Amino acid sequence: MFDRIVVGLDGSKLAEQVLPHAEAFASRYGGRLVLLRAVGISPIRALGGAVVAPAGPGPLLDPTPHLQEELLQATNYLTTLADRLQTQGLIVEQLTPNGHPADAILEAARDGSNFIALTTHGHTGLVRAVLGSIVADVVRRATCPVLVVRASEATSG
């Protein structure tokens, strides 16, 4: 039923709160977990590729100058999670696509997934207006079921 579950992560403990739910589905239905963390797109880039100029003299501040470092960090992060999940007998795949997180999650889901699992950070007001909502974008555009877990600061450890 749920043989390939895409789990969108951003590297935060809050985002990891969806893992127990995804693990339960994968265990129960023999599914594969696809852990995904998109790289290369900062919130500023996600607004349309803008490059921000600092207030004073100096070079332009490019929010993504260290893509290789970001990719290595994302890979190490997912490997740590995957190792833990595999010790529980789960089949785990890792993806670190370059691009906007919502687009990356949806693209991964198009490759034979039938379930997406995400955590919402619950941003509202100006933060949501500026950063947008990756979860809302995924829910709106997904062609498969999406499980959304509301993150709780109290349990993020």
**Mean pLDDT across the stretch 94-103?**
94
**Per-residue model confidence (pLDDT) at position 124:** 58
**Per-residue model confidence (pLDDT) at position 113:** 83
In a domain, 51, yes or no: no
In a domain, 141, yes or no: yes
Is 147:135 a contact under the CB 8 Å cutoff?
no
For residue 52, the one-letter residue type is: V
Residue predicted with more confidence, 153 or 84: 84
Residue predicted with more confidence, 51 or 93: 93
In a domain, 68, yes or no: yes
**Per-residue model confidence (pLDDT) at position 77:** 97
Look up the CATH number of the domain holding residue 71: 3.40.50.620
Structure tokens given for 133: 């909502």
In a domain, 52, yes or no: no
**Mean pLDDT across the stretch 118-125?**
72
CA distance readout (Å), 100 to 49, 50, 77, 107, 127: 11, 14, 18, 11, 17
pLDDT at 57 over 50: no
Q: What is the pTM of this model?
A: 0.80
Query: Domains in the chain: how many in total?
Result: 1
Using 50, 70 and 90 to split pLDDT, how confident is the model at 155?
A: low
Domain range for 86: 4-45+64-155
Q: Which residues contact 102 (CB under 8 A, 6 or more apart)?
A: 134, 137, 138, 141
In a domain, 121, yes or no: yes
Mean pLDDT for the chain?
81
pLDDT at 22 over 80: yes
Residue predicted with more confidence, 58 or 20: 20
Using 50, 70 and 90 to split pLDDT, how confident is the model at 132?
A: low
**Per-residue model confidence (pLDDT) at position 47:** 45
What's the CA gap between 157 and 153, in Å, rounded?
8
For residue 47, the one-letter residue type is: L
**Per-residue model confidence (pLDDT) at position 34:** 97
